[in-house]
Amino acid sequence: MKKRVTKAIFPVAGLGTRFLPATKSVPKEIMTLVDRPLIQYAIDEARAAGIKEFIFVTSRGKSALEDYFDHSPELENQLRKKGKTELLETLKSTNMDSGAIAYIRQHKPLGLGHAVWCARRLLANEPFAVILPDDVIAAETPCLQQMVEAYAELGGNMVAAMEVPDNRTNAYGMLDVKEDMGSVVSVKGMVEKPKIGEAPSNLAVIGRYILSPQVMSNLNKLKSGAGGEIQLTDAIAQEIENSENVYGFRFRGQRFDCGSKAGFLQATVAFAMAREDLRDEFTDFLTDMLSVRNAAQ
C-alpha cells in the first residue's frame, strides 16, 4: 500500500538577489502578488493536496517569513472590534497550527539538493513533496493536488513538467523520456541545464516534486554536481537507474517564474485580472496604457 504524502519541504533559504534592494530586508517569499505573498500561494497549494506538515529550509534574515505564519493577537483584536469579519477570515489562512510547521537552517548555499537534505531528520521513512515558491502555478485544480492524484496510481517519484522552447532548455533540468503516456511520462534520464541543442526533450522540470525516501538516501551520498552544488536532479536520476520509477507529470495550469522580475510582473497582472474586485478597473488601466504606448509609436 502506498503511503500518503503528508509532508512538504519548502526551500526558502535563497537571498533573492535578483530583487535587490527590496530583498535587503524583506524575504523574497513574502513579496506579494496582489495582496498575498508568494509563500501563501505555495502553502494553499500544499494544503489542497493534503499536506499536514510544512518544513521550511531557511537561512539568516528570514525572521519575517517565520513571523508571517504566527498569530497576530493585536491585529486580530482590532479587526474584531471594528467588525471586519472578512479580513479576520482572510487572516486565518495565514496561521499555522502549533507543531504543523518546522524551520531548518541551511547555513551554506550548496544547492537545492542540499536544502532538501537538510530536512532529512524530519521525514522518517516516508514519501514527501518539495515545493519551490518561486514557481507559482495558476490552475483550476492546484498542481500538487493533480500530482498527488497521479501518484496514488503510480507511486515512485514524480516531478512536475512543462514544455519549454529550445532556446530555454539550458535554464532547466530536462527530462529524457522513455514512454509518453499523455499527462504522465516515464523517464529514463534527467540532464541538469544542458547546453542549447543538447537537451534530450523539451520537457523541463518545474518546482513541484513528490519523492520517495530513497531519494533522500541518495542525497546522503551525493557530491557536488553542476555549478558546484548538490543537485536534487542527480539524486532523482539515481532512482531511474535503481528502480526505473521516475515520472514526469504534465500539469494543467499556467506557471509563472516569480524568481525573475518579468515573471513576477506577469503573475501580478494575471492574478489581478482573475480577481472580480479588481478586473474591470485594472483592465481599463491596461487598455489605456497600451493606447498611450501605441500612440507614441
Residue 228 clears pLDDT 70, i.e. is over it: no
Give pLDDT, residue 290.
Answer: 86
Give pLDDT, residue 16.
Answer: 81
Give pLDDT, residue 272.
Answer: 92
Residue 277 clears pLDDT 80, i.e. is over it: yes
Question: Rounded to whole angstroms, how far apart are CA atoms 148 and 50?
Answer: 9
Question: Rounded to whole angstroms, how far apart are CA atoms 144 and 49?
Answer: 6
Give pLDDT, residue 60.
Answer: 81
CA 243 distance to own-chain centroid: 26
3-state SS track over 57-126: EECCCCHHHHHHCCCCHHHHHHHHHCCCHHHHHHHHCCCCCCCCEEEEECCCCCCHHHHHHCCHHHCCCC
Provide CATH code, domain 7-259.
3.90.550.10
Question: Rounded to whole angstroms, how far apart are CA atoms 220 and 216?
Answer: 6
Average pLDDT score, the chain = 87
pLDDT in tens, 106-139: 888 788 889 999 998 898 788 999 999 999 999 9
Give pLDDT, residue 205.
Answer: 92
Residue 179 clears pLDDT 80, i.e. is over it: yes
pLDDT in tens, 234-276: 889 888 888 888 999 999 999 999 999 999 999 999 999 998 9
Residue 2 clears pLDDT 70, i.e. is over it: no
Residue 209 clears pLDDT 70, i.e. is over it: yes
Q: CA dihedral defined by 26, 62, 113, 217, rounded to 10 degrees?
A: -160
Which sequence spans correspond to the domains of the chain?
7-259
Question: Rounded to whole angstroms, how far apart are CA atoms 278 and 286?
Answer: 12
Place 65 in a pLDDT band, splitting at 50, 70 and 90.
confident
- Are 6 and 53 in contact by the 8 Å Cβ rule? The answer is yes
Residue 141 clears pLDDT 90, i.e. is over it: yes
Give pLDDT, residue 226.
Answer: 52
